Each structure stands twice: as C-alpha cells, then as structure tokens.
Amino acid sequence: MIIGTFLFYFFLFLFVFSSPEKLKNRDKRWTKILVLPAIFALLLSVLTVIKVFFIYKILLIIVAGITMLLTYWQYGKEIKQWLEK
C-alpha cells in the first residue's frame, strides 16, 4: 500500500516536473530529473502513513511550490548552472 502510494505520487510528480526539453537531451543525467519527484513523493507517502488529510497535502504542495518559485527567483542563475552540468 505504501509503495503503491509512493509510486502514484512519484509518477504524478515526474509528469509535472518533466519538460520536453529535458527529455530531449539524452546526455543529461537522469538523476537530476528524478530527484525532485522522488523527494516530494516520499514526503507525501510519509504524510499518507500518518493520516494527514487531503486538503493539507494540497496546501503543502502549494506552499512548497511558492517556496520553490521564490527560491528560483533568488537563485535562478545558480540552479540553471547546476542543471546544465
């Protein structure tokens, strides 16, 4: 059950975070594409185990998204350099 929940969230976040231009470049490492979806899927799987309500999960995703957006605005150049390596 927990593994199924993890896989569901992993594939959902993999679909959300994957962009066609990242998938076109075969020379990039797959780990960079898989890191964020795996972290978020693991987090939401743990929240499923401790029975956090669905609305709080949505709020967590929104807060995490806003935090990531603000982080990208602040450190966008460094993030792009890390992704291009």
Contact 18, 33 (CB under 8 A): yes
Tens digit of pLDDT at every position of the chain (85 positions):
778 878 888 888 777 777 666 556 655 566 666 777 788 888 878 777 777 677 777 787 888 889 988 988 888 888 888 777 7
Burial of 52 (0-12, 13-18, 19+ CB in 10 A): middle
Q: Which residue in this structure is represented by tokens 């975070």?
A: 17
Q: Give the span between the Cα atoms of 46 and 68, in whole angstroms.
A: 20
Q: Give the span between the Cα atoms of 40 and 5, in whole angstroms.
A: 12
